[in-house]
Chains A and B, each alone.
Chain A
Amino acid sequence: MSETDAGKLSPKNRNDGNVGRRTFLKATGVSAGAAALAGCTDTIGGGGDGGIPDTIRLGALGPADSPMGDSILKSAELAVEEINDDGGIAGADVTLSTKDTKDDPGTTRSGYQELTTGENVHATVGIFGSENLLSIMGNISNAQTVHMTAGAATPEAPARVADDFEANKYWFRVGPVNADYLQQSMIDYASARFDTMGWDTVAVIAEDYVWTEPITDSIEQRLEEEVGVEVTSVQRIAEGTEDFTPIYDQLESAGVDGAFTALAHIGTTSLVQWAQQQRPFGYGGIHVPTQLPSFWDATSGACISTFSQTTATADSEITEKTVPYADAYAEKYDGALPVYTGYSAYDAVYMLKDAIESGESVDSDTIVSELESMTFTGTSGTLEFFGEDGDYPHDIKYGEEYTRGVYFQWQPEGESGTQSVVWPDEHQQSEYQAPPWQ
């Protein structure tokens, strides 16, 4: 039975138990004879041998008060709603339980525990924040429940999968690409665009967090050798920094053309002070706050001409699913647009759907092997995970043929501003523009 057929089922039929498709899929689930699964008491005929339960329970985690976390929770919710409207997963209804991580490792752990032991979810998505992700790697392994990370970029997670594959194989990352690849992405962008931007001399400023460590460890050497620009300094900035003036004074006296950034948690103050002080150098790189579609209004336009890498912008057609997802999100959430974590969380839920349906089971080991062999067209590109022997086991692959995101720049549009894609070529919407005060 195809997805199109499922789409024709009325909500009433689904609520009534949906004899046709659902019964068929449950029956096939039983015959799949998969291994035992947690919470299998509601499995039709399963009795511990896998299959599809009446209800598939998913969990989503993220810092609810942060736009990044909010987008994770809302995107998971949107995907689950769409899936239920379309006949569920293998005919089963899907429920979603969300937990606020407060962007704090302790709260993340207890939220994760509640989901996996209290609510017996079949898989989880989300997190944001590498520190929080790393704090629950052991719990994921204990719970033996598939977790699809959306938001955290540390390569430490796949390293742990590589160290002990059997224990940690339940972890996957849908996005963003890991921080090693984020460094590669910065190099790719610099090689393609620095020349036309007039950036011959740059300084790198990165926040002093786990995720930026792989970026700063060799970016100076790579920028100089592979891109041919002069790097005056690579600075790691403390979390509590609220005055960037002395840092910008140094950059200015070093005569840089641009500040190449790796900022997520402390990016807004840095950007606002750069704009207010009208520094004579450009500003951008990876800058998470500026990815927020609402950032122009939030900063009263101070973000003008800053640029950043992101998974996708609302009107960039990475795949045929990108714009419809952003539109559906805007429609469901009063015109709000998703941020990068949302694309990945949304894709994660659909990947789980495909994995459960093709494996005909909610058994974690079955889902793991289905995900390992999957090539999935998501909102953020063609998604494929590294296998056990890959460079980054269970992490998402980076590259033109997979997913590598886009670089966009905030450019004025009427009274407001717009995120206009400047790289890569196939998605480019406009040329980079220097800040208006230069």
Chain B
Amino acid sequence: MIDYNSFTLNNGLQVIVHEDDSSPMAVVNVLYNVGAKDEQEDHTGFAHLFEHLMFGGSVNIPDFDEPLQMAGGENNAYTTNDLTNYYESVPTQNLETALWLESDRMLSLAFDKKSLEVQRKVVCEEFKENYINKPYGDVWKLIREQAYKVHPYKWMTIGKELKHIEDATLQEVKDFFHKYYIPSNAYLVVAGNVKTEEVKVLVEKWFGEIPGRSLPERNIPQEPAQTEARRLTVERNVPANAFFKSWHMGGRLDPQFYTIDLITDILGGGPSSRLYQTLVKEKELFSQISCFHTGSVDAGLVTVEGRLAEGISFEEAEKAVQEQMDIFCKNGIDPNELTKVINKTESMMAFEDLSLMSRASNLAYYALLGDTDLINKEFGMYQQVTADAIQAISNQLFQESNSNTIWYCATKN
């Protein structure tokens, strides 16, 4: 059970306080409800580029990191297609330093030309390091483009192409900021050895005077149901063939979410999962295989990802995956297998809750979803999943017409 208190400032900022006196540190987490899906298709990579710029100094504070480090703190941030999350951890005594810094960059950035020039280069190097210079680095670009035709999930968080980042102008950056980085589009969590009343005073002091602005309506085109199977074959300079197959699923708040989460775990989460055991260990058709879902706020994907063993053909590999999926859809699971995935989920949640930082970011995330209390209700939702539901939903989900297959071929030298 994770206790918390919440309140909302006049400017619309939603605040959550989680008191935990066992930690010497306090965590400040600010989640903005803006991600890569809010970008224009010809201007991608912005939300993420922005994450970098948010450390380039704000209107009254020239350097973000320096005062924080002076106060013994550390910070970082991440961007996804759905959101941007910033967090600091500081010795509890120095909580106010973190609030001062976060509030000033919510007020306004410094919009420094030099900072934009440099961060643009840094992000381009990040792009190269993770998506160009690594074997299989472009796989998610391919999967997204294949599965999404309309929804902006069709590009990666880092951006669709380097050029978009290289071309970003200061004016575009300013516009993006003023549009999305406003109190009513943010969730602030303060966690640690703190008292709600004291936090309230400090939050009022630093965030209260940030003017409230109205948020533009979000008009994200939702992906229509896919009615025909899609296939793609590419050839790349990699040493081994790889196989990817994805199916469309609902979003994070879809009631089927919990069932699908368990389905992916049974199929491909860990060494005793069905696909791993039969296809890697028994039949030796793959050297590795897993099944997972993207867990996105809007409708997401369930993906099977595997690397073929030496000398195995794509036809053979795909047939074997299909066979396992068919058996699963036809026969369902036994009660023991259900108990196992529920146990795994219980344990995973307990380990996740160990860290104050992860409790803080989860609280912000559930607030974004619209129901902070989900943090305490979710395990109950998993416990309610039945074997029948698993079978019924699998049959719906794993329709061939809903599938996207990629054969990622190693160049033959």
A, B from the same assembly = no
Interface residues of A (CB under 8 A from B): none
Interface residues of B (CB under 8 A from A): none
